[in-house]
Amino acid sequence: MIIARVTGSLHATRKNPRFEGKKILVVTPEEPDGRSAGTSFLAVDRVSAGPGDRVLVHQEGSGARLLFADEKIPLQAVIVAVIDSLQLDGEEGDEG
Protein backbone atom coordinates (compact mmCIF):
# COMPACT_ATOMS: atom_id res chain seq x y z
CA MET A 1 0.00 0.00 0.00
CA ILE A 2 1.07 3.56 -0.57
CA ILE A 3 0.23 7.01 0.77
CA ALA A 4 -1.13 9.42 -1.84
CA ARG A 5 -3.00 12.71 -2.20
CA VAL A 6 -6.20 13.06 -4.25
CA THR A 7 -5.32 15.59 -6.96
CA GLY A 8 -8.19 15.21 -9.41
CA SER A 9 -11.04 13.12 -10.74
CA LEU A 10 -11.91 11.36 -13.96
CA HIS A 11 -15.31 11.48 -15.64
CA ALA A 12 -16.08 9.17 -18.55
CA THR A 13 -19.45 8.74 -20.23
CA ARG A 14 -18.29 5.66 -22.16
CA LYS A 15 -16.45 3.08 -20.07
CA ASN A 16 -16.15 -0.60 -19.30
CA PRO A 17 -19.50 -1.66 -17.78
CA ARG A 18 -17.71 -2.96 -14.68
CA PHE A 19 -16.87 0.65 -13.80
CA GLU A 20 -20.52 1.81 -13.78
CA GLY A 21 -21.26 3.65 -10.54
CA LYS A 22 -17.62 3.74 -9.44
CA LYS A 23 -15.74 6.97 -8.74
CA ILE A 24 -12.28 7.18 -10.31
CA LEU A 25 -9.81 9.66 -8.82
CA VAL A 26 -6.37 10.93 -9.77
CA VAL A 27 -3.89 10.35 -6.92
CA THR A 28 -0.27 11.43 -6.50
CA PRO A 29 2.04 9.30 -4.32
CA GLU A 30 3.56 11.03 -1.28
CA GLU A 31 6.29 10.31 1.22
CA PRO A 32 5.05 10.05 4.83
CA ASP A 33 6.33 13.62 5.39
CA GLY A 34 4.14 14.92 2.54
CA ARG A 35 6.74 15.31 -0.21
CA SER A 36 5.70 14.14 -3.67
CA ALA A 37 6.95 10.62 -4.38
CA GLY A 38 6.09 9.77 -7.94
CA THR A 39 3.84 10.03 -10.94
CA SER A 40 0.09 10.46 -10.59
CA PHE A 41 -2.18 7.53 -11.46
CA LEU A 42 -5.85 6.54 -11.35
CA ALA A 43 -7.51 4.70 -8.48
CA VAL A 44 -11.09 3.60 -7.84
CA ASP A 45 -12.49 5.17 -4.67
CA ARG A 46 -14.09 2.89 -2.04
CA VAL A 47 -14.20 5.37 0.87
CA SER A 48 -15.72 8.64 -0.46
CA ALA A 49 -12.39 10.46 -0.68
CA GLY A 50 -12.35 13.99 -2.03
CA PRO A 51 -10.01 16.60 -3.49
CA GLY A 52 -6.96 17.20 -1.31
CA ASP A 53 -7.55 14.16 0.92
CA ARG A 54 -4.52 12.13 1.92
CA VAL A 55 -5.38 8.50 1.26
CA LEU A 56 -4.09 4.95 1.53
CA VAL A 57 -4.03 3.17 -1.83
CA HIS A 58 -3.83 -0.56 -2.45
CA GLN A 59 -1.92 -0.75 -5.72
CA GLU A 60 -1.87 -4.35 -6.90
CA GLY A 61 -4.37 -5.76 -9.37
CA SER A 62 -5.47 -9.08 -7.92
CA GLY A 63 -5.81 -7.75 -4.37
CA ALA A 64 -7.65 -4.68 -5.63
CA ARG A 65 -10.10 -6.87 -7.54
CA LEU A 66 -10.83 -8.86 -4.36
CA LEU A 67 -12.18 -5.68 -2.75
CA PHE A 68 -14.89 -5.63 -5.42
CA ALA A 69 -15.51 -9.40 -5.41
CA ASP A 70 -15.06 -9.23 -9.18
CA GLU A 71 -12.07 -11.02 -10.68
CA LYS A 72 -12.75 -9.53 -14.11
CA ILE A 73 -12.81 -5.83 -13.21
CA PRO A 74 -9.83 -4.24 -15.00
CA LEU A 75 -8.19 -2.23 -12.25
CA GLN A 76 -4.82 -1.83 -10.57
CA ALA A 77 -5.43 0.57 -7.67
CA VAL A 78 -8.13 1.15 -5.04
CA ILE A 79 -8.39 3.87 -2.40
CA VAL A 80 -9.01 1.96 0.83
CA ALA A 81 -8.76 4.68 3.52
CA VAL A 82 -8.74 8.43 4.11
CA ILE A 83 -5.83 9.18 6.43
CA ASP A 84 -6.81 11.18 9.53
CA SER A 85 -3.36 11.19 11.11
CA LEU A 86 0.06 9.63 10.62
CA GLN A 87 2.65 9.14 13.35
CA LEU A 88 6.38 9.22 12.54
CA ASP A 89 9.20 8.93 15.08
CA GLY A 90 6.94 9.73 18.02
CA GLU A 91 5.39 12.81 16.38
CA GLU A 92 1.79 12.66 15.28
CA GLY A 93 0.44 14.91 12.57
CA ASP A 94 -3.22 15.65 11.99
CA GLU A 95 -4.27 15.52 8.33
CA GLY A 96 -7.29 17.76 8.97
Q: What are phi and psi of 64, to 5 degrees?
A: -65, -40
Query: What is the model's pTM?
Result: 0.83
- Tell me the per-residue pLDDT of 62-94, one tens digit each, with 9 for 90 and over: 776 777 667 777 788 999 999 999 988 766 556
Which CATH superfamily is 2-11+23-82 part of?
EutN/Ccml (2.40.50.220)
Q: Kindly tell me if the per-residue pLDDT of 96 is higher than 60.
A: no
| Cβ-defined contacts of 21-28 (< 8 Å, 24+) | 25/49, 25/79, 27/55, 27/57, 27/77, 27/79, 28/4
Paired sense of beta strands 41-45 and 2-10, if any: unpaired
How do the domains of the chain map onto residue ranges? 2-11+23-82
- Tell me the per-residue pLDDT of 3-50, one tens digit each, with 9 for 90 and over: 999 999 999 999 888 888 889 999 999 999 999 999 999 999 999 999
